[in-house]
Amino acid sequence: MNNLLEFDRHALLAGQWWRLWTGHLVHYTPQHALIDFAVVLAAAVIVVQLSATPAIGMRRLALALGLGAPFISLGMLLIAPGCLTYRGASGVAAMLMVMAGGALWPRATRSVRAALLLMAATLLAKIGAEAAGYAHGLSDLPADVVVAWQAHLLGVAAGAITFAARKPRLQLD
Amino acid sequence: MRILNVLIIVLAAALLSSCASMSYNRSIKQTGSIVDYLYPDAKSAPAMTPTVTRLRPPVRVGIAFVPGAGWGNGLPETARMKLLERVRDSFSKHPYIGKIEIIPTQYMRARGGFTNLEQVARMFDVEVVALLSYDQVQFNDSNALSVLYWTIIGAYVVHGDQYDVQTMLDASVFDVQSRKLLFRAPGTSQVKGSASWAGFSEKSRAAQTEGYNAAVDQLVPNLQAELDNFRERIKHDANYQVENKEGYKGGGAMDWPGLALVALLAGLAWGLRRRE
């Protein structure tokens, strides 16, 4: 089943478009899935809770997941040509973390904003370390799987786009 | 006449026992030097230009014995292969090691240098090669019991010869492209024993193999420790870079740092909600 759902470059290019979404749902190990989904769940709850109403929050979340997941997958097709297969919700998790931070930002005091900036820098540093290969060995991914840092970067970009798109509406509020 | 007979017997016994005890070399040395193999004609220390060594996990590794200096030097090929298989099996479980290819000694040219190493690496499609150099010295001595060899039966029963086999194995792991020594680890052993004149050759040969086996027993954990040190070292050493391999399997993993970050975010959000 996992093979049918994972991001598979050749299968995608052959027309199996569902993989743009489902690649983020399947994982390599239970621990891999547990950590990724825990981050997704926590960030999603923050996004919904900080929205004007839960209904608006849910709508935003559904829109972000519906558009963000294929955005990350298409980005992987473009910027990571060597990545033949991909599994994991961490790209989506990174997107939701940025969205959660973005939802906190307008209401935050100066000290909280400083903390948010520090966390954003930490997230970017983590991705940088993964790109440089320094995070290899820290990951709990299986033997033959390489950390797809590009997915995390694309997730951050997707979250930033969502944040930028949301800003004018907040000013109207 | 009787005295003459006794003298003849004593002389014959002395000659026989001396023949027996002198039939072995006092010391036998087997050596395969990494320096002789990689730098055969070096008059001075090799000049190393500072380069960044790029490692692309899972790394393809070759493992081979350094070729000896002369014909028949060292272990037979089958015994070598068994030792290399033991080393391979100990390291095949690591995620960052893709495949480990055993390279037979026939493919290695004595004093072949890095040119030969690169040829072999291309042939076996490996990026990193672990070269096992060896140095084994066997000392043979007779003890006081050897005097009983003159009885002929004693030559088959009495352990009048003894051996002391000292072995050192050294595994040096090289990145073929940058020609850089990544890490190394030694393994040593000492095997002592005795044998009768008739069984000495067989027993001492078995002791040589046992010496190599014992040295590998010590080498494997040492090599494992050095590998762990190397993994830690490359995280902070700018001379090494770990890169993605073309055609790899990717995995998006948030890991514990990601979980910690989202927990902090949740804490901030909870604080904000409480304040409001």
- Tokens standing for B91? 């390291």
A140-150 in b/e burial notation, b at 16+ Cβ within 10 A?
Answer: ebeeebbbbbb
End-to-end C-alpha distance for chain B, whole angstroms: 128
pLDDT at B253: 76
Tens-place pLDDT, residues B197-230: 888 888 888 898 899 999 999 999 999 999 888 8
Q: What percent of chain B has pLDDT over 90?
A: 26
Whether B195 maps to a domain, the answer reads: yes
Please tell me the pTM assigned to this model.
0.57
Whether B102 maps to a domain, the answer reads: yes
Provide the pLDDT confidence category of residue B24 given band limits of 50, 70 and 90.
Answer: low
Tens-place pLDDT, residues B40-92: 877 766 666 777 888 877 788 999 999 876 555 667 888 889 999 988 888 87
The residue of chain A nearest to residue B268, with distances taken between CA atoms, is: A112
For all residues of chain B together, what is the average pLDDT?
Answer: 83
Whether B8 maps to a domain, the answer reads: no
Rounded to a whole number, what is the distance in Å from the CA of A111 to chain B's nearest CA?
11
pLDDT at A171: 46
Q: What's the CATH number where B167 sits?
A: 3.30.160.180
Domain that holds residue B96: 27-143+153-242
pLDDT at A104: 85
Whether B252 maps to a domain, the answer reads: no
Whether B7 maps to a domain, the answer reads: no
Whether B10 maps to a domain, the answer reads: no
A85 touches chain B (CB under 8 A): yes
Chain B residues in contact with A84 (beta carbon < 8 A) = 247-250
Which member of B98, B255, B273 has the closest CB to residue A138?
B255
Whether B45 maps to a domain, the answer reads: yes
Q: What percent of chain A has pLDDT over 70?
A: 90
Whether B34 maps to a domain, the answer reads: yes
Domain count, chain B: 1
Please tell me the distance from the alpha carbon of residue A81 to that of residue A79, in angstroms, as a whole number. Answer: 6
Which member of A88, A103, A119 has the closest CB to residue B252?
A88
